[in-house]
Amino acid sequence: MSELSVNHLLGIKYLKKEDIKLIFKTADHFKEVINRPIKKVPSLRDITIANLFFENSTRTRLSFELAEKRLSADVINFSAASSSVKKGETLIDTVNNILSMKVDMVVMRHPNPGAGIFLSKHVKASIINAGDGAHEHPTQALLDSYSIKERLGGVKGKKVVIVGDILHSRVALSNIFALKLQGAEVKVCGPKTLIPKHIESLGVKVETDLRKALEWCDVANMLRVQNERMEISYFPSTREYTQQFGLNKKMLDSLNKEIVIMHPGPINRGVEITSDVADSENAIILDQVQNGVAVRMAVIYLLASKIKQ
Ligand code: CP
């Protein structure tokens, strides 16, 4: 397979196993490029990309912008907080105005699930979903799997537990799709109130005892509790959440094996993970961030190749 089966990256749900293999092979090449003294290639000199962020972001926004610049694309950045969206402009009008300035590709983060899918049906540009509400965050799941592969030599057959606020997490859903597609075994672990009903229908198992989950897994992906998406309380107190689902060094050291610790960021140190775990040898959290640039370069490069045809 030499090209992606899709024209947009809207979610992992729409990808085939071969798409992920192609993205990882291309990311390997770009990882080598960004470790050179000159970290830039001229591949996308003829492509203009708009980064539209309707929701806060540090890692994803900077990582996409860096990936685009490393590929020599022209880049424009849009933040909803300082735009005419505040004056009542619709999403389609905003994007069509930007596209009339000859933009080829849109990277969009939006609080509403399905915003990227909606946009892809109404505008003529390749759309990359940089996180849509509690729905999907496909490039995060790709960089997570890429980082597991780098650390453990592969994803197939690995046991991965995703811990925390599964209900509100786009990272959890995209990871479940990506990991299952590559043949990993997946469990989710967290308070019952933060585990969606019928999640087993996605081929994952539920474990509400963190110790049992950690004893089972090769990799633990620790998620943040997404307070900004909660209108009610899902557990009695943060202290109680941390006591039951927070990972600390004592628990990590008491396991009878080494496990890999991941976190998509931003971390709430002392809540879902203590600092000594986040900064330990087991953690690949900064590798995930570093790999994000190469993986996003690969996604942008492969989608741009389809625009150029
Ligand atoms: N992992 C992630 O999406 O982080 P940001 O919200 O900072 O982009």
Q: Is the pLDDT of residue 152 over 90?
A: yes
Instruction: Name the nearest CA neighbour of 79 among 55, 95, 60.
Output: 55
pLDDT band at 309 (very low <50, low <70, confident <90, very high): confident
**Which class is 12-136+289-307 in CATH?**
alpha beta
**Tens-place pLDDT, residues 196-231:** 999 999 999 999 999 999 999 999 999 998 777 777
Distance between CA atoms of residues 217 and 161, nearest Å: 6
Return the higher-pLDDT residue of 147 and 88: 147
CA of 56 to the centre of ligand 1 (A): 8
Distance between CA atoms of residues 16 and 223, nearest Å: 26
**Region 264-272: what's the mean pLDDT?**
94
CA of 37 to the centre of ligand 1 (A): 27
For ligand 1, what atom is nearest to the CA of residue 109? Answer: 8
Name the residue at shortest CA distance from atom 5 of ligand 1: 57
pLDDT band at 15 (very low <50, low <70, confident <90, very high): very high
Q: Is the pLDDT of residue 100 over 80?
A: yes
pLDDT band at 239 (very low <50, low <70, confident <90, very high): very high
For residue 24, the tally of other CB atoms under 10 A from its CB is 21
- pLDDT, position 228: 78
CA of 229 to the centre of ligand 1 (A): 15
Distance between CA atoms of residues 207 and 119, nearest Å: 37
Name the residue at shortest CA distance from atom 4 of ligand 1: 59
For ligand 1, what atom is nearest to the CA of residue 131? Answer: 3
- pLDDT, position 135: 97
- pLDDT, position 84: 80
For residue 239, the tally of other CB atoms under 10 A from its CB is 10
User: To test ligand 1's pocket by mutation, which of 52, 53, 59 has the most ligand atoms within 8 angstroms of CB?
Assistant: 59
**Tens-place pLDDT, residues 274-292:** 999 999 999 999 999 999 9
Name the residue at shortest CA distance from atom 3 of ligand 1: 60
Q: Is the pLDDT of residue 236 over 80?
A: no
Residue 90 annotated as binding site: no
Pocket of ligand 1 (CB under 6 A): 57-60, 131, 137, 140, 264-266
CB–CB of 10/120 below 8 Å? yes
Please tell me the CATH superfamily of domain 138-284, with its number: Aspartate/ornithine carbamoyltransferase (3.40.50.1370)
Name the residue at shortest CA distance from atom 6 of ligand 1: 57
Q: Which two tokens stand for residue 172?
A: 């959890």
Q: What's the sign of the alpha-carbon dihedral 220, 65, 13, 233?
A: positive
**Tens-place pLDDT, residues 35-61:** 999 999 999 999 999 999 999 999 999
**Rounded (to 5) percent helix, strand, coil in the chain:** 45, 15, 40
Q: Is the pLDDT of residue 18 over 90?
A: yes
In percent, the amount of the chain with pLDDT more than 90 equals 86
Q: Which two tokens stand for residue 273?
A: 């993970």
Residue 269 annotated as binding site: no
pLDDT band at 24 (very low <50, low <70, confident <90, very high): very high
CA of 219 to the centre of ligand 1 (A): 20
Which secondary structure element, helix H or strand E, spans residue 209, and what is its range? none
- The total number of residues shown for the chain amounts to 309
User: To test ligand 1's pocket by mutation, which of 52, 57, 224 has the most ligand atoms within 8 angstroms of CB?
Assistant: 57
**Region 60-74: what's the mean pLDDT?**
98
Residue 265 annotated as binding site: yes
Residue 140 annotated as binding site: yes
Q: In this structure, what DSSP letter does residue 223 have?
A: P
Q: Is the pLDDT of residue 83 over 80?
A: no
Q: Where are the domains of the chain?
A: 12-136+289-307, 138-284
In sequence order, the β-bridge partners of residue 185 are: 159
**Region 237-251: what's the mean pLDDT?**
95
Rounded mean pLDDT of the chain? Answer: 95
For ligand 1, what atom is nearest to the CA of residue 137? Answer: 3
pLDDT band at 193 (very low <50, low <70, confident <90, very high): very high
Two domains, one topology: 12-136+289-307 and 138-284: yes
Distance between CA atoms of residues 105 and 290, nearest Å: 23
Q: Is the pLDDT of residue 308 over 90?
A: no
* Residue ranges in the chain assigned as alpha helix (H): 17-33, 59-70, 91-99, 115-122, 138-152, 170-181, 210-216, 238-245, 249-254, 275-278, 285-308
